[in-house]
Chain A
């Protein structure tokens, strides 16, 4: 056939079956390009929505590498005539992208200091040897730490502590038990609820702050954010802990010998080194910078200052940072933010917002409820399919165009994007615990759906009763 050998045909077939979503998105974008623009949407808005649809399909289906998706977003913006090459380039880089890049690099710098064993000792000394206290301690410490230093750092450092405890308990780390499930979910969900606490808890918080500033809607400082979000985090700790305990009640109620073995293992490590101390001091300086300097120089620049210090003091090598930083994520979020800005500028975000409002008003009379439903429930569900930051990057401009107090809507969206309880792909920490082979995809649903509903209700109550008092 066409002079092709059976082998080439087989190769083409293989490619086509593996890339069916890429082919589909290409056909979809081509056909919708020739459709007339819907009423109320101009042609550039129409085109930007095509790019959004293609992006979503390609991210969810994972049919091409993420950096390729990022490049496609930029290429399509220029080719479809939405913006000039220089315009696209300038919307690609922003302080939010600096922040995402800086915080991923900080994570590498902190993780490479070998502080995990010290953290283990700290956790165990705090919790004692009762299993419920250990699980709650894991959850609380993961939540509080990740609210400042980001969830990937904490997830990577807490995981070995949990695995060591499980291994020492003699239940084997290769067979899932309620004990292993409980401890691992305590880390993953702890990191998820922690990430809402401060702007530096997750890239998506910074993306939202960036949008609010870029669109000239509002400015929110590090401490103000904490005032809004931290109470929710603190309330979620005991609730999540209880839900996890009753869903995965382990047979071992005390982990006496396991804790003792861990202490012996960790004690071999000796005293804290000067480098470790310096690493902690630099991080505290970064935190203070976020609190006091970020209104003037931006969260991203403060994060980059931290990376600069770690590199200059020789606490981490560039090679290490280069190898362990996820450049794909940085490229993708840069591109997604640029897409979000174009959605706002072309009026596509407003059009989608209007469509959603008019459609949902059939079900809910109150526009406040519609706004709440979209920013909380839709964000929460989408975050479990995409990733939280991509969700905020794409949905952010839409929900902000729905009217209402932009700070309230923005915060609700950012917080709801942390409800990453339901799937493996929802957040890096969910993936980290899944990669141990101890957690299956269906485990995420067992406690996840309860937590999802509880979190949605809790956010509703807080945003309706607490936020109006402080704003």
Chain B
């Protein structure tokens, strides 16, 4: 399992990093923490690089390093890095430029199998898409951005599953709301639901929504399979059968104390682009964390 956690600043990304690292620990996943810094236009790219080089020689730490520094100390505090193995201060840690817009900090004393701290510069969608594509992540974890258009682009163009840590409160006891339907994405979503439920020891609510009131055979079959799977894994479940608009029902059932898990839409990319999709609308309307499984 490979997980990418995208952070942007200490102020906004604490819940994202917290949830992300918990999932990584439970699943023993190979994890990358990534910050995407300001996009530098091409006219000034070399001048900014030159300025950054001098800034580093003054021991000030180049822009974006502060976010990684904060993440680094979070990792030490939470025992992802063994503090006894850390000999030098963060300011002495050098960013290894792997390519023109991707740099990596070398870490020692890791307690996870693999853990990376990466700094990229550029347009956020371009950089995240490239990172996921090049390094084959299974899951990307990112904070709830205020911009709906950005969520649209994530869902449309990023090939991994996506967990949007929207409005997350660490003190709250969350339950999982697993949306089941007759689409092929459901079985994958159920598998993820089991893993997250076991990782955090939380219960699962299964929801099946029918627009008309009759539940077709495929969807009831999917629900039965999900129930069976939960039972086999010893997870407590409750089932909700609803009638009406799927998006509204899912959002309403989730409220603020659920983590919604659902399969990605299987519509064609063109249809999704022009008409949107169920997962996209759920992200737009809900006020809780959402995991879209691809």
Bound CA span A157–B50, Å: 9
Whether B109 is near chain A, meaning CB under 8 Å from some CB there, is no
Whether A467 is near chain B, meaning CB under 8 Å from some CB there, is no
Q: Which residues of A contact B55 (CB under 8 A)?
A: 159-160, 163
Write the nearest CB–CB distance from B267 to chain A, whole angstroms.
9
Identify which of residues 42-57 in chain B touch chain A, using a CB-to-CB cut-off of 8 Å.
42-52, 54-55, 57
- Residues B273 and A159 in contact, CB atoms below 8 Å apart: no
The answer, among B37, B60, B129, B269, for a CB contact under 8 Å with A173, is B60
Whether A255 is near chain B, meaning CB under 8 Å from some CB there, is no
Whether B157 is near chain A, meaning CB under 8 Å from some CB there, is yes
Q: Taking A18-B126, A160-B60, A163-B58 as contacts, is the C-beta distance between A431 and B43 under 8 angstroms? A: yes
Identify which of residues 6-63 in chain B touch chain A, using a CB-to-CB cut-off of 8 Å.
37-38, 40-52, 54-55, 57-58, 60, 63
- Residues B42 and A432 in contact, CB atoms below 8 Å apart: no
Whether B64 is near chain A, meaning CB under 8 Å from some CB there, is yes
- Residues B48 and A431 in contact, CB atoms below 8 Å apart: yes
Whether A152 is near chain B, meaning CB under 8 Å from some CB there, is yes
Q: Which residues of B contact A431 (CB under 8 A)?
A: 40-41, 43-44, 47-48
Write the nearest CB–CB distance from A410 to chain B, whole angstroms.
23
- Residues B47 and A326 in contact, CB atoms below 8 Å apart: yes
Which of A35-43, A48-56, A108-116, A134-142 has 4 or more CB atoms under 8 Å from chain B? A108-116
Q: Taking A9-B268, A62-B42, A425-B43 as contacts, is the C-beta distance between A437 and B50 under 8 angstroms? A: no
Bound CA span A434–B157, Å: 29
Bound CA span A388–B27, Å: 53
Identify which of residues 107-131 in chain B touch chain A, using a CB-to-CB cut-off of 8 Å.
126, 129
- Residues B269 and A435 in contact, CB atoms below 8 Å apart: no
Q: Taking A10-B157, A329-B43 as contacts, is the C-beta distance between A152 and B270 under 8 angstroms? A: no
Most buried by B among A114, A427, A434: A434
The answer, among B47, B58, B157, for a CB contact under 8 Å with A152, is B47
Whether B198 is near chain A, meaning CB under 8 Å from some CB there, is no
Q: Which residues of B contact A429 (CB under 8 A)?
A: 47
Q: Looking at chain B's contact residues, is the secondary structure mostly helix, strand, loop, or mixed?
A: helix
Q: Which residues of B contact A107 (CB under 8 A)?
A: 47, 50
Q: Taking A9-B268, A62-B41 as contacts, is the C-beta distance between A156 and B273 under 8 angstroms? A: no
Identify which of residues 368-399 in chain A touch chain B, using a CB-to-CB cut-off of 8 Å.
387
- Residues A14 and B47 in contact, CB atoms below 8 Å apart: no
Q: Taking A160-B60, A167-B60 as contacts, is the C-beta distance between A13 and B270 under 8 angstroms? A: yes
Q: Taking A13-B269, A114-B57, A163-B55 as contacts, is the C-beta distance between A156 and B40 under 8 angstroms? A: no
Q: Taking A111-B50, A425-B43, A428-B44 as contacts, is the C-beta distance between A435 and B63 under 8 angstroms? A: yes
Q: Which residues of B contact A9 (CB under 8 A)?
A: 268-270
Q: Taking A6-B269, A156-B51, A173-B60 as contacts, is the C-beta distance between A13 and B156 under 8 angstroms? A: yes
Whether A328 is near chain B, meaning CB under 8 Å from some CB there, is yes
Bound CA span A435–B118, Å: 17
Bound CA span A167–B51, Å: 17
Question: Considering only CB atoms, which chain A residue lies closest to B38 in the complex?
Answer: A435
Bound CA span A329–B52, Å: 19
Whether A355 is near chain B, meaning CB under 8 Å from some CB there, is no
Q: Which residues of B contact A104 (CB under 8 A)?
A: 46
Question: Considering only CB atoms, which chain A residue lies closest to B64 in the complex?
Answer: A437
- Residues B270 and A436 in contact, CB atoms below 8 Å apart: no
A-B interface contact total, Cβ < 8 Å: 113
Q: Looking at chain A's contact residues, is the secondary structure mostly helix, strand, loop, or mixed?
A: helix
Chain B interface residue count: which class?
Answer: 20 to 34
Identify which of residues 233-271 in chain B touch chain A, using a CB-to-CB cut-off of 8 Å.
268-270
- Residues A428 and B43 in contact, CB atoms below 8 Å apart: yes
Bound CA span A1–B52, Å: 48
Q: Which residues of A contact B270 (CB under 8 A)?
A: 1, 9, 13
Whether A442 is near chain B, meaning CB under 8 Å from some CB there, is no
Contact digits for A160-187, partner B, Cβ 8 Å, 1 yes 0 no: 1001100100000110000000000000
Write the nearest CB–CB distance from B18 to chain A, whole angstroms.
20
Q: Which residues of B contact A428 (CB under 8 A)?
A: 43-44, 47-48
The answer, among B41, B42, B54, for a CB contact under 8 Å with A159, is B54
Bound CA span A434–B51, Å: 12
- Residues B43 and A66 in contact, CB atoms below 8 Å apart: yes
Whether A155 is near chain B, meaning CB under 8 Å from some CB there, is yes
Bound CA span A425–B43, Å: 8
Whether A249 is near chain B, meaning CB under 8 Å from some CB there, is no
Question: Considering only CB atoms, which chain A residue lies closest to B52 in the complex?
Answer: A435
- Residues A435 and B51 in contact, CB atoms below 8 Å apart: yes
Bound CA span A2–B273, Å: 18
Q: Which residues of A contact B52 (CB under 8 A)?
A: 435
Q: Taking A10-B156, A13-B270, A116-B54 as contacts, is the C-beta distance between A326 and B45 under 8 angstroms? A: yes
The answer, among B42, B50, B269, for a CB contact under 8 Å with A65, is B42
Q: Which residues of A contact B273 (CB under 8 A)?
A: 13
Q: Which residues of A contact B51 (CB under 8 A)?
A: 155-156, 159-160, 432, 435
- Enumerate chain B interface residues (CB-CB to A < 8 A): 37-38, 40-52, 54-55, 57-58, 60, 63-64, 66, 126, 129, 156-157, 159, 268-270, 273
Q: A108-B50, A156-B54 are in contact. List 10 more A-B contacts (CB 8 A).
A: A6-B268, A62-B42, A107-B50, A111-B54, A164-B58, A324-B46, A324-B50, A328-B45, A387-B43, A435-B40
- Nearest 5 CB-CB pairings of A with B: A431-B44, A428-B44, A326-B46, A156-B51, A428-B47
